[in-house]
Structure 1
Amino acid sequence: MATAKTKLIVKTVCATLITLAIAGALGGFAVLASGIYNVASTSQHLQFVHAILEKGMHHSVRFHARKVITPPLDDKQLVKSGAVLYQANCVECHGAPGVAPRGIGMGMQPVPGPLVDVTSKWDAGQMYWIVRHGIKMSGMPAWEYRMQDEELWQLVAFLQQMPQLSPADYKMLASNQEGEK
């Protein structure tokens, strides 16, 4: 049976937590309403904001991509087609082996990351989900309305191979010429 002292402690802890939650919400609202937080593309997020958004993005992608069924992606022609699509649509922002991102990509905030380590962060289903749906407020577009599903998987097949490619390998694959690597 709880004593009066225990009940008082529980009530005090609950009241303190509720008060802190309300104060935090009001403080956050005050910062947003004041306009003091700089949302300009020329200004980086504060580190803790960036870390929270990045962590949330990773959890969201993993959650939403969990039911994606990945087809076989090891066909060389699939990879080649993906390289050509990547050259036409992705290099501008992400760069490629031996190719730096171009002006538009470097002017974005957050700056689109290079994809040389993409396979260490995402599996094929997660990459497909990101390419298909994009990422809000990052500049990463949703390609599902601009590419067929087959093309999305071609990009993913290429992305899985890209970390192992030399600049010369990439140049050969991304050229729209016939020939096998």
Structure 2
Amino acid sequence: MPHHHPAEHNDIWSVEGRFQHLLYSPKGGIEGLLIDTEGIATQFVVDPHDCASVALLLSLRRDQALVVEGRETRPSPKGDGEHVVYHFERLAAVDGRATQAAARPTQVRGKVVRLNFARHGAANGVVLDSGDFVHLRPQGMERLQLKPGDQVLAQGPASPLATDGGWAIEAHRVNGELL
């Protein structure tokens, strides 16, 4: 019997198993992962725009013991699949060690090398010469008026970037100013 347990949050299931492999999109991106739960395949699909989750999945090794939390998907109009499918919520444990439910708090500093823009075109943060991305939202950018060359000290929860080994900081304080 697979280890599927209701998690603390309504509609979220906690599934124990061993990492098998990543699942790819037709264009080569990461769509999710497959785990083995006592001989039964369980699939988790991830939002391809969730860079922190994709980066985390890229760090997994075959047969690592995992606890993955997810929400059951609705039946597909394309028919039944070969196994149960969940929408990935978070990786709750790896190799028996709990992972943090939220991003870890951190502090980064560096010089602004470029602005970052939201999907709708408004500046929403800065990229530092350290390789870190400081997310400020458009309101924070308007308020702080940061530009290339400015020095930044940012504090807030951080998640790994999908590229370059830097961090994505959800800034709560920048240069001493509370956002």
Give the TM-score range, shorter chain. Answer: under 0.3
TM-score, length basis structure 1: 0.22
| Greater per-residue strand proportion | 2
TM-score w.r.t. the length of structure 2 is 0.22
Q: Tell me: higher relative CO, structure 1 or 2? Use CA pairs within 8 A at least 6 residues apart.
A: 1
Q: Which has the larger radius of gyration?
A: 1
Structure in which a larger fraction of residues adopt helix: 1
